[in-house]
Structure 1
């Protein structure tokens, strides 16, 4: 069974997190194989419609992600200015991190400044442009813009937009199941107080 999960993970181009892995193992050990198979198929088909685009965005190669997105869904970014801005900002950040300040400034003037005509983007533009003032932007007050978490947010938004454009669910049944399970556990812990359920341990579960 573990071999199946590894093959599946490689096939869709993602690493299974603890929540997904626990749910798969739980269903498999309870012999609910039909549901197990359905959820694997659901994750494979719904989480990433185009894994390459997601990974390019996550790795900071935003221009490639934009290129592939426009090939897949030509009008998606044109109709989603927020997402387009966020993707362009990822490329700007990569230039800043590479200490290519002149190139970053030129890119911002050409691609980001036009967004400044809309008030909601002014503050965002100011934050990004402020990164150029620091020799070590990762230590600036705007350090979050350089983080993996920020790239993850943008990549997730892009993935959901592509799925919605293709009339696919933005969240898989697996993700909804995990969200519901987490919510139930939190409610039970609140009701039971300090004697509530112990946090889930994958290691302990596998030993049981």
Structure 2
């Protein structure tokens, strides 16, 4: 009789197979780059109008007249906010003419900023000012920050999403940083405020004077240094790898692994939850190994025979998810060896049982579509012929067998190894950290992190 745990396991792996059907591996969102629209020019629409003149290329700004009071600032934002799905954003401003008073400024403002004010003079803004070298953040009173800047100087403004700081540079050198206490989108902003002041802006079209690549590399080293300082229990990696091999039934690899480490690494016990200990991971290890090998070599008939002999309760319901995935795999294997007539006959008998059942519809359609192509391996559904599809089926059978252990109290312990739980926890922590930062900072992709060999700061 199928238990509630086994039903949960079957439903879970069916959902994984359906997810693959709707988003095959070659179109996984984790392979996409985090392309965000970048600021490219000054926004002539949202600016302080008559107090400034913007060049036709929308990268130069000039103050043509004499200001009468503090509300006559020529301020302008970029056409787009600073991108947030990255470690650092940066832009620069060159002072072409310091004008009569040298009151140029650079900073970041929100979309609600009053454009007739200097960045930093209003709430929700930061500004580094040339005439006094002060930093302004949300009020008209500045604080000591850095040197003044004038004609010929290049100043820059950046956002470090990892440290949650805004920083400014002068002539390629960092002047200082300030805590970024706003989670909303920020727009690169520049301003001029005395007659004949003129500045040009570089949003990255030209090389920056400040070495932003070296700065990013330094920030990543800081992250890595913090990670390296975290202490772990001795030989914990050995225990985690061993638990992974046990969970998925890699008996041969496990034996070699134990032999290689027997003389140098003492056994280590990993705390398990819900009473699930290593002895339970050893449950039916040889059976699980054998069935995984059969599935990986395409011997689905032999798998059915073995399950009928040893674990009939798993497949007694011929419309269960595990039976469905096995029948789909049998159909796929027939297509793989070009037994198309046999695949058609098998589909009419076995897959026909699942026609009209909504939960199976997508994968049935994908499997049958293999017959429509002269070379199915190069078709949009060719991923079904890959090893990853066999692994999904093998993992399903493995979990179902583990669920027959009378000591098993939690279906989740059957579905995932301790290593996978650890990686899920890592992902959850990184996503939570980004959420707390207003969904700003580098997007965490586990596959990308593992492939690059880099760890995130968490």
Deviation of 1:32 (Å): 6.4
Aligned residues: 189
Corresponding residue SS for 1:132? helix
CA distance in 1, matches of 2:279, 2:430: 24
Which of 126, 131, 137 is the equivalent residue of 2:370?
131
Find the counterpart in structure 1 of residue 137 from structure 2: none
RMSD value over aligned CA atoms?
Answer: 4.5
Find the counterpart in structure 1 of residue 313 from structure 2: 75
Deviation of 1:72 (Å): 1.8
In structure 2, list runs of 5 or more residues that go unmatched: 1-240, 443-448, 454-458
* Structure ranking higher in helix proportion: 1
Find the counterpart in structure 2 of residue 206 from structure 1: none
Deviation of 1:125 (Å): 2.2
Question: Could you state the TM-score of these two structures normalised by the residue count of structure 1?
Answer: 0.66
Tell me, yes or no, if the aligned pair for 2:280 and 2:405 is still in contact at 8 Å. no
> CA deviation digits over 1:81-137, x for unaligned, max 9?
111111111111111111111111111111111211423333332221221121100
Deviation of 1:53 (Å): 1.1
The answer on 1:149 being equivalent to 2:388 is yes
Query: Structure 1 residues 85 and 123 mapped into 2: Cα distance closer, same or farther (>3 Å)?
Result: same
Corresponding residue SS for 1:35? coil
In structure 1, list runs of 5 or more residues that go unmatched: 204-208
1:46-61 pair list within 5 angstroms:
48=285, 50-61=288-299
1:1-208 pair list within 5 angstroms:
12-13=250-251, 15=253, 33-35=267-269, 41=278, 45=282, 48=285, 50-79=288-317, 81-167=320-406, 168=408, 169-170=413-414, 171-173=416-418, 175-177=420-422, 179-180=424-425
CA distance in 2, matches of 1:72, 1:175: 28
Larger radius of gyration: 2
Considering Cα pairs closer than 8 Å and 6+ residues apart, tell me whether 1 or 2 has the greater RCO. 1
CA distance in 2, matches of 1:118, 1:35: 45
* Structure ranking higher in strand proportion: 2
CA distance in 2, matches of 1:55, 1:86: 16
Tell me, yes or no, if the aligned pair for 1:92 and 1:104 is still in contact at 8 Å. yes
Question: Could you state the TM-score of these two structures normalised by the residue count of structure 2?
Answer: 0.34
